[in-house]
Amino acid sequence: MSKQPTFRIVDGERIPGLSRPAFVRNGDHHYLVQLGIYADGLIDCWGLLTLEEFAADLRRGRIATRFEEGARAAVHETVEWEFGKVNGHLTPESLYAEIRDDIDDLNGRPDSTARAWRALHEFRADPTEERRAVLRAAYEEIPEHERHAALADHSVGDGPLYDLAVGPGGDVTPEEYQESLDYFDEEWGDPLEWLTRQDQEPEPEPADETVVLHEWHVPEDWPEDASPSAVLRNEYPAPVRIGDVTYRNVHEAWLAVDPAPEARTAVMAALLRAKYDQHPALADVLTGTGPARILYRANSFALSEIAFWGHEGEGRNWMGRLLEATRAELHARRLGLPH
């Protein structure tokens, strides 16, 4: 399926990405959409998703990879049809692996095929069963529909790579295994030379990651683990004391203060400082996000305020920006720097 370069702009920064078609299931329809896959690890599929959230949508079938005859499909407001005979090669696992590879490629990191190559050369240089296990795991990470091209040699496909990953015995005969060893000796040369060249190449600069803070749909059922997606939300049950009054959380304090628009960012910044000053464990979660960009889903604000505080669409993402500023202040304080 074709992929095209794309990008999105976040706070004036261009985030490179790829666009590819996919089907999203909504009710009894399958809608053909363009997924946006970005270097910061987010996927635009009717809203920004993390890779883990995308995997969950694949598991529950929201992102469709298999279609029955007669299934209904559409390009929104353009055309509708029913599937006849369907020949598909994707599974949820292979699509997830392919998109994970896309994110690696966008960051200049080794993708699953490159990791399998390295594991192959390390096994050839030191053919132990432990290294074979690493090679097999790396081979199985390659999207299944792309394994045939892993060696970039259509005359053999992925046969020699599979043979070394599995080892002699079972469906690989000793003769086939030796042929595969000979193939790599003849076609790929000395594994130590390859590994030395790879280790001399400079490491790429990774793209900054992004933390997305979606609205929490079950406000009374917060997770016990201190995940950023929960504890950084204003609605998270972290009592905040302002003067002589203690509020259940930042959101409740904000509603009580109800500042004028001209003062709203300063007031919110003060409430965030109070939250993370009064809850050191939560401050550790915030600083633990490192340099990641923080995008905030602002549905808990008044409708007129969502575009100001949130990131969706053309939103200005002021809540995310203030969380990043609070994080910087915490770092500065811990380093003894002025802030």
Does residue 263 lie within any of the structural domains? yes
Of 180, 200, 220, the last residue of a domain is 200
| 3-state SS, residue 207 | coil
Whether residues 148 and 263 share a domain: the answer is: no
pLDDT of 210 reads 87
* 293-296 and 210-213 strand pairing: parallel
Whole-angstrom CA distances from 28 to 22, 51, 53, 63, 64 are: 16, 25, 22, 13, 12
Do the domain assignments include residue 339? no
Residue 178's pLDDT is 96
Local structure of 241: helix, strand or coil? strand
Which of 168, 200, 232 terminates a domain? The answer is 200
Q: Looking at the structure, tell me whether residues 39 and 100 fall in a common domain.
A: yes
From the first residue on, what is the mean pLDDT of each consecutive set of 10 residues in the chain (339 residues)? 85 88 90 93 90 91 88 88 83 93 92 96 95 97 94 94 94 95 94 89 72 73 78 93 94 89 94 96 94 89 89 87 96 86
Contacts of 308 (CB under 8 A, 6+ apart): 264, 298, 301, 315, 316, 318
pLDDT at position 252 is: 94
- Check which CATH number belongs to the domain holding 313 and give it: 1.10.357.40
Q: Say whether both 246 and 323 belong to one domain.
A: yes
**Same domain (yes/no): 258, 286:** yes
Within a domain: 299? yes
CB 25 within 8 A of CB 64: yes
Same domain (yes/no): 143, 178: yes
Query: Of the residues 55, 78, 106, which one is the last residue of a structural domain?
Result: 106
Q: What is the predicted pLDDT for the residue at 335? A: 87
Shared domain for 217 and 307, answered yes or no, is: yes
Rg (C-alpha) for the chain, rounded Å, is 25
Which pLDDT score is estimated for 240? 96
> Is residue 89 domain-shared with residue 61, that is, in the same domain?
yes
In a shared domain, residues 246 and 196? no
Distance CA 12, CA 15 (A): 10
Residues 91 and 65 sit within 8 Å (Cβ to Cβ): yes
- Report yes or no: 116 and 97 within 8 Å, Cβ to Cβ: no
Residue 279 lies in a domain: yes
Task: Say yes or no: 102 and 116 in one domain.
Answer: no
The amino acid that residue 74 corresponds to is A
Residue 27, pLDDT score: 85
Domain match, 142 and 69 both? no
Is residue 205 a part of any domain in this protein? no
Same domain flag for 90 and 128: no
Domain that holds residue 151: 112-200
Q: Tell me, what's the pLDDT at 337?
A: 84
On whether both 61 and 127 belong to a single domain, the answer is no
Counting the structural domains of the chain, the total is: 3
